[in-house]
Structure 1
Amino acid sequence: MQSKFKTSDDSEIILTELMQPNYSNFSGKIHGGFILSLMDKAAFACASKFSGQYCVTASVNRVDFLNPIEVGELVTMKARINYVGNSSMVVGIRVESQNIQTGEVKHCNSSYFSMVAKDENGKSVKVPGLVIRNNNELRRFLRSIKRLKSSNERDEEFKSENFKQSQHDVNLDSYNVKIEFN
């Protein structure tokens, strides 16, 4: 029987991997797609650990690559649950690289993965609630609510059946766009 409520500590995953030459892109930096793959693994492990269920990735919210990662650096991903719904969870992931020779640590990326818990038949299942114990955890939870709400509002606003050009008073002159309606 799983607990009705858990802390974000109950979900914490730390994944560390040495960056090898075969992970690099044409410019000699670690390929962003490889980092995304590692992040997805960390999100899966974190959400599954918290929920006690198999989890799938529903969406990834904004991925900003802040600093390049070099071959030979250690990359550490720290993942934990920031928000829970009924069957969904938002996993916050922080990616850092460390130069093994100098010890310098760089923040390379932060991202948010929405994960959904599934049963053996692929049906969504309820996840434990989240115990919030401090101001930082409350900030993360509320930020997730705001991100989800604004995403849903934007999706609704720009659905083709809802879109009204007159509601968007934007001067497109400063953008690299040419409009030619037929």
Structure 2
Amino acid sequence: MESLSTNVSRTIQTKLVLPPDTNHLGTIFGGKVLAYIDEIAAIAAMKHSQCVVVTASIDTVNFLSSARVGDILTLEGVVISTGRTSMEVYVKVECKHLDTGETSLTTTSFLTMVAIDQQGNPVPVPGVVPESEMEEELFQQATKRRKERSRATR
């Protein structure tokens, strides 16, 4: 199976933070951000594998800063490494603060998605070829993250 460029899976979404998305402090619910992250990771993995996928794990989620009502979130998801049937997806979320014009990194995350067939059985996926320095670095670190996941599930 031929390996695919990270550009095949790259997916970008933009979301507006609305009042129902926020807590009593006026900042977006972490669970809402997690739902956005899971959705974009699934789309990126489906684009890479050309299959239906399921979420196997959300390995790390780093909430670095918050977003408020009226802010614009930009989510970017990309398949960064693969196993036989699994794909590690890196998702970053940036926030554009309309009142200041500044952009800040709000969240980073790694998820593992598994490609499945119509019967729910895992199916092989293509490898991945990093396209940027950052992607190459994340690709090189993937083996370490995979070992850490394996230890955590024992």
Tell me if TM exceeds 0.5. Answer: yes
Superposed displacement of residue 102, structure 1: 2.5
Instruction: Find the aligned partners of 2:22 and 2:152 in 1 and give their Cα distance.
Output: 35
* Equivalent residue letter for 1:93: V
Instruction: Find the aligned partners of 2:26 and 2:130 in 1 and give their Cα distance.
Output: 42
- Greater relative contact order, per chain length (Cα 8 Å cut-off, separation 6+): 2
Cα distance change on mapping 1:149 and 1:121 into 2, 3 Å? same
- Equivalence for 2:57: 59
Superposed displacement of residue 103, structure 1: 1.6
Q: Structure 2: where are the runs of 5+ without partners?
A: none
Superposed displacement of residue 56, structure 1: 0.6
Give a deviation string over 1:148-176, Cα, whole Å, max 9, x none: 112323444xxxxxxxxxxxxxxxxxxxx
- Equivalence for 2:126: 128
Superposed displacement of residue 133, structure 1: 4.6
Superposed displacement of residue 107, structure 1: 0.4
Q: Structure 1: where are the runs of 5+ without partners?
A: 157-182
TM-score by length of 1: 0.80
User: Which of 81, 84, 98 matches 2:82?
Assistant: 84
**Residues 1-182 of structure 1 correspond to what in structure 2 (within 5 A)?**
4-133=2-131, 135-156=133-154
Select between 91-100 and 133-142 the one with higher mean Cα deviation.
Answer: 133-142
Select between 116-125 and 100-109 the one with higher mean Cα deviation.
Answer: 100-109
| Number of residues of Structure 1 aligned to a counterpart in Structure 2 | 154
SS of the aligned residue for 2:62 comes to coil
TM-score by length of 2: 0.94
Superposed displacement of residue 143, structure 1: 1.4
- Cα RMSD (Å): 1.4
Superposed displacement of residue 25, structure 1: 1.0
